[in-house]
Structure 1
Amino acid sequence: MQVVDPHVHFWDLAAHHYPWLANPGTSFVGDARELKHDYLPADLRRDAGGIDVLKVVHVEANHDPADPVEETRWLQSLADAKEPGWPDAIVAAADLSDANAERTLAAHAAFARTRGIRQILNVHDNPLYDYVGRHYLRDEAWRRRFGLLARYGLSFDLQLYPSQMADAAALAREHPDVQLIVNHTGMFVDRDSVAGYRAWRDGLRLLAACPNVAIKISGLAMFDHRWTVESLRPYVLETIDAFGAERAMFASNFPVDRLFGTYGDLWRAYASIVAGASDDERAALFVRNAERVYRLGGEQR
């Protein structure tokens, strides 16, 4: 089974500072104490087992916010090592609310494998789910600096909750020249009500109506720690129904989702769910869409 994995995290605890791993705790996502160990390309290769991982996209791993470019510098050095030469693309960290954001974007863009930026946006009324405590999507200065991404040829990984999807869709319409990629299947966290399901379903369709938005089917185990193929199936199929097989892509979210299952089991679950799709649709979901969206055909952006 061949895949391009567009959502992986590497970290080296001896060489770099990751505040969330310095004093890890537990949350709805799982027990971060079990993640307090290095995770490097060799570890992913070992976890992959019989899955043929063709290419890997690294998404920023909440590295020291005082020096986000250092993470990109390190990742580029891993890529240059050639064995196996991962990551093939880097989604770097930047705070677009910072007055010096353009300087950070320019520094990231100087590295050959940089393709995009992620700034986590998750805000929620329930403190259990709130990541940032601030509505960046409603901040005028943040939205204005979002336009800088196009200047540097950078995409944006969009990590948010369904309650934020209407604001995100408006942002996507304002910036049709920026590719946005929804993370973790839209992070449907309010699963205890019909209204919560409708907010996720309808929010996906608001985003999917924007041609410059794609989505990663990933991170489902963070909300379903005892997942099965059948428990994942409705979320996978609803997402593909919204975005179509041409704008959705499967991803592992390793090593975070490693807390709840093996790499092989996760990818085989995805394959089982879409077994009835055409060969072309499966190739798009597992390989081609990630290659296109993250421009994995070469070093040029």
Structure 2
Amino acid sequence: MTEAILEPDLPIIDPHHHLWDLRPLMAAFPEPRHPFIAAIALSPYYTFNEINADASSGHNVIGTVFMECGAFYNAGASEALKVVGEVEYVNGVAAQSASGLYGHARLCDAIIGHADLRQGGKAGAVLDALMAASPRFKGIRHAAAWDADPDVLGPPFHHPGGLYLDPAFREGFAELGKRGLTFDAWLLEPQLEDLLSLARAFPDQPIVLDHCGTPLGMASYHGKLHERFDIWREKIKAIGLCPNVSVKLGGLAMSFAGLPDHGPAAGLSSEVLAAMWRPYIETCIEAFGPGRAMFESNYPVDKWGASYAVLWNAFKRLTHGASAEEKAALYAGTAARFYGMEHLLG
């Protein structure tokens, strides 16, 4: 589906996208595929050319943040340090974009890598190596998404339950604050109390909750979005009271949420998507405020539900009545401040 671009001059910093080559993963999961596998099958190879084309599709994307996804690890490094390869690779992509030869957007201007914080204090050495790999490195994501129903996440995910409550993880988590690094949290709606506990235990650590806290609408949660909405909302409101936590407004087009519940590339209009996502987006903005909320593409995963251009049109429909100041924060300012990208705002 193609649409006319809404508010084409509004500056956008996309604070969450991936780069990867997942063709080996795709080969490991033959038909029938879990919906997440079907979603990434849309873009099993997503590197500079692909993100540059999407970011240049009409909206005024001035910069982006790369989000770790376990890609391009250094096969010759130790288990702990192989993650540095991902940051090294993305730093090269960022340098390619910074040449200005491919447009005005500064892709991967900030880089979020990964370190296994379950190493406790030893994670500090990995963080130091990541910092040395790129001046664009800003922090890490250590995902904790888990559910007792294995069909919810599917075969690619193997995070342990209760990760953010684990003492060894928290020992490693403390290493972030010593270095002024950020933390991206991805977990599912039934787990949100774990993040609340973590945020309260480390009140000075900047944390951003990915994907609106990932409401669930598939597998054993299919058809339960409505009945679980109030549960999700109360958890979001509680987390929003933690001043060190921000939220990413997006990820709702993932197969996990079922918004839409069919894909890939559902072909729905931005009007339909905006109506579907409104209760979640508006609840998050109310709980966190524009100064701690940022729209994200979560591309290419959210290609399951919408093209890049339609996705941002849907967001813009949701903020039609917002002030210029609120829009400036939601689309670029909050991300710039959280990830240290203020230089992109001029």
TM-score normalised to structure 2 length = 0.79
Counterpart amino acid of 2:294? M
**Hey, what does 1:236 align to over in structure 2?**
281
Deviations 1:108-131 (A, max 9, x none): 122200111001101112112254
**Hey, what does 2:118 align to over in structure 1?**
97
1:115 alignment partner, one of 113, 118, 138: 138
The yes-or-no answer on 1:251 pairing with 2:278 is: no
Could you tell me which runs of 5 or more consecutive residues in structure 2 were left unpaired when the two chains were aligned.
1-7, 101-105, 261-265
* Contact 1:214 1:247 survives alignment (8 Å): yes
**Hey, what does 2:107 align to over in structure 1?**
86
Higher Cα radius of gyration:
2
* Contact 1:4 1:291 survives alignment (8 Å): yes
**Hey, what does 2:128 align to over in structure 1?**
106
Deviations 1:109-163 (A, max 9, x none): 2220011100110111211225413321121111121100011211110101122
Deviations 1:189-209 (A, max 9, x none): 146065522221111112111
**Hey, what does 1:179 align to over in structure 2?**
206
Cα offset, 1:36, TM superposition: 5.2
1:29 alignment partner, one of 36, 47, 51: 36
**Hey, what does 2:52 align to over in structure 1?**
45
* Contact 1:184 1:219 survives alignment (8 Å): yes
Distance 1:133 1:192 in 2: 24
Cα offset, 1:76, TM superposition: 1.0
Distance 1:162 1:199 in 2: 9
TM-score normalised to structure 1 length = 0.90
Cα offset, 1:21, TM superposition: 4.6
Cα offset, 1:260, TM superposition: 2.1
Cα offset, 1:277, TM superposition: 0.8
Distance 2:117 2:49 in 1: 33
Number of residue pairs aligned between Structure 1 and Structure 2: 295
Cα offset, 1:71, TM superposition: 0.4
Distance 1:23 1:36 in 2: 16
Aligned pairs (5 A) from 1:1-301: 1=8, 2-11=11-20, 13=21, 20-21=25-26, 23-24=28-29, 26-29=33-36, 31-32=38-39, 34-35=41-42, 37-48=44-55, 49-63=57-71, 64=73, 66=79, 67-81=82-96, 82-84=98-100, 85-98=106-119, 100-110=122-132, 111-130=134-153, 131=157, 132-189=159-216, 190=221, 192=224, 196-222=228-254, 223=257, 224-225=259-260, 226=266, 228-297=273-342
Q: CA RMSD in A?
A: 2.2
Cα offset, 1:24, TM superposition: 4.5
* Contact 1:205 1:242 survives alignment (8 Å): yes
Distance 1:24 1:295 in 2: 38
Counterpart amino acid of 1:23? A
Q: Secondary structure at the match of 1:221?
A: coil
* Contact 2:208 2:248 survives alignment (8 Å): yes
Q: Identity, % of aligned pairs?
A: 32
> Would the alpha carbon gap of residues 128 and 291 (structure 1) be closer, same or farther in structure 2, given more than 3 Å must change?
same
Stretch of structure 1 that moved more, 82-91 or 230-239: 82-91
